[in-house]
Amino acid sequence: MKMSRMKTIPVLQLSESNRAALRRHFLALTPEDLRLRFEHVICQESLLRYVDSIDFDSDAVFGVFDENLELAGATHLGLRGDAAEFGVSVVPGHRGEGIGTALFRRSLEYARNHAVHTLFMHCLKENAAMMHIARKSGMEIVLDSAEAEAHLKVPPGSTASLTRELFGERVGLFDLALKSHFLAARTIAEAMAEAAGKIAHPAG
């Protein structure tokens, strides 16, 4: 089932336990994807160094897991006092499903509830996905010859925004548990089918 057909896309805040999944996520991106994400060509060594340097306590990292428990999309919200920088990536095969927008909305909710006054993006002007999110969310965009910077004034948090954040996190945890259950069941079923096939058609 395509995620775009779902009413909501479950987004989970990531922690140290998800660092390996985050590495696999970035390694699944093409060199061009990485150039657009980081605004320059980046080698694998630098990419992994970036992932290993993420501090899950001082920043906020969010992800959307697919049916194989791999990160279909991830965002790193770099917190800098009362400002936060938003960066997002979605792997090929899961684009056009609204994952980037869901990650932005979850990041904005987090920003509201953690005293962030300004949310900003910095990207290459040719990064169509980021530009789409910026325009769709009503961000103020400043363009130069090659780059774009977008800012959004973050409204203060409220009881409603705190409730939405807590509910969203619970939905993300439930979604991950459900997908883990289905993946385990599928793995067992495939192993049993393979074993049955070997019994029915023994080698030699």
Average pLDDT taken over every residue of the chain: 89
Which parts of the chain register pLDDT below 70? 1-7, 193-198, 200-204
Position 101 in a domain = yes
Segments of 81-168 assigned E as strands:
83-90, 118-124, 140-143, 147-153
pTM (2 d.p.): 0.85
Greatest CA span in the chain, whole angstroms? Answer: 71
Give the H/E segment covering residue 62. Answer: strand 60-65
85 located within any domain: yes
Which residue segment(s) compose the domain that 132 sits in? 3-188
Please tell me the predicted confidence (pLDDT) of residue 65.
96
- Tokens of residue 107, six digits: 């990041």
CATH classification of the domain holding 38: 3.40.630.30
Entry field: residues in the chain: 204
Number of domains, the chain: 1
Within a domain: 194: no
Work out the angle between the directed axes of helices 159-200 and 99-113 (0-180°, nearest 10): 140
Other beta carbons within 10 Å of 101: 17
pLDDT at position 195: 66
Domain membership of residue 202 (yes or no) is: no
Q: Is residue 197 part of a domain?
A: no
Residue pLDDT, tens place only, 53-109: 999 999 999 999 999 999 999 999 999 889 999 999 999 999 999 999 999 999 999
